[in-house]
Amino acid sequence: MKLTHKLLKAAEFGSTNSMVKIGVKYHFGDGAKQNYNQALKWHRKAAALGDADAMNKVGYSYNYGLGVTKNLITAREWYEKAATAGSVKAIYNLGVFYVHGFGVEKDYFKALEWFRKAAAIDDSDAMNNLGILYSKGQGVEENLDKALEWYEKAAASGNKVAIKNRNLLYNFKNVKAAAENGDADAMYYLGEMYEEGKGVAENLDKAFEWWEKSLALGNFDAFFSLGWIYNNIAAVKKVLNQAVAHWEQAAALGDMEAMRHIGCIYDAFSGYEKNFDKALEWYEKAAALGDSDAMYLIGAMYENVDDPEKDIDKAIEWYEKAAELNHAGAMEELSRIYYYGDGVEKIFDKAKKWRDKADEAGI
C-alpha cells in the first residue's frame, strides 16, 4: 500500500497512529522508498506525543543503528520510556537487554521481572524466555517443571521456538529418567544434552559425570566423549578399567563388538597400555566371529604400525576380507593403496575396481 495523502494529512493533524504507520512504511520500504532516517523522524514525532509503540520503535532504531548511530544505552532509555507508557514489546526488550547486558549490567533477576511483566500481558516470547531462565537457573532456582509450564503457555500461543524448547525439555526429562534407571545409552545421551545445553543449561561437569557412568557400563561412545573433554586418557583410566572389565565379561559370552572395543583400547590410546599384540589378539577374536570392522582395523594396524610389525601384504589381506563382507571403508583403502602404490605396485585397474565397489557400497 502506498504512502497516501490521507495518511500524511492525518499525521499532520496529530494522529500518532498515522505517524507510526508512516514510519513503518519508510522502515520497510512499503509504499515509499526505504529510508531509516525518515522512519526515525516520524517515530520521534509520535513518541513526542506520548505514543508507546513509537517510543519502542525509536529504541529499536538506536538498538540496531537504523537511521542513527547505534547506542545501546540510549536504546535502553527509550525502551524504559515505552515500557512506562505501556508497550509490551518494550517490556520484553528490556528483559532481553538485562539477559545479555546490552546497555546495562547483565542481571538475570531483573530480566526475569521484565519477562514476567510482558508474559502477564500475553507476550509469548517473554513466556518462552521465562522457560529458558527456569531451565538454566538464571535469576531463579532451576525448576524444570516451571520451565515446562512456561514453554507450554508460549506454545499454546503458537510460538515455534517455545514448541521446540518444550519438546527438547520433554526429551531431556525422559532421557534423564532412563539414565537414572541404569540405561547406559541414556546416560551417554544425557551427557551430550548437558554438553550441548539441549533442554537444560550447559554443564560439562554433569556431562562428564554421566559419560563416566555410561562408560563404566560399557558404552564405547562415552569413551570418546570423555576424551574430548580431557584430551588425556589418563584422566579417565579408572573408569575405563571398569569398562574393559565389562567388555571382557561380554566377550566371554561371545560378544564380538565387546572384543573389538577392547582391541580398540589397546590399539589406539597410548595412555592405556598401548599394545599391538593384545590389540591384534582381540581384533582377531572378533574377526573370527565375522566382524568386518575388526578385519578392517587389523588391516589398518598392519598398514600404519611402525616396523617391524608393519606388513602391507597382511594389511591388504585383511582389507580384502573385510571388503568381501561389504565393508566400504576397506574397499576405499584398497583403492587408495593400489592407486598410489602405497607399499605395492601401482595397479590402476584394481584401484578402479575397489573404487567402484566403494561407490556402490555408499562411499
**Residue 7: per-residue pLDDT:** 87
Tens digit of each residue's pLDDT (9 = 90 or more) over 127-166: 999 999 999 999 999 999 999 999 999 999 999 999 999 9
**Residue 342: per-residue pLDDT:** 80
CATH of domain 1-85: 1.25.40.10
Of the candidates 325, 321, 324, 320, the one whose C-alpha atom is nearest the C-alpha of residue 335 is 320
Tens digit of each residue's pLDDT (9 = 90 or more) over 185-207: 999 999 999 988 888 888 988 99
Residue 362 contacts by C-beta under 8 Å, 6 or more apart in sequence?
328
The model's pTM:
0.66
Q: Domain boundaries in the chain?
A: 1-85, 122-231
d(CA 71, CA 91): 18
Angle at 328 between CA 324 and CA 330, to 5 degrees: 70
With a cut of 70, list the residues of the chain below it in pLDDT: 1-3, 224, 227-239, 269-273, 363
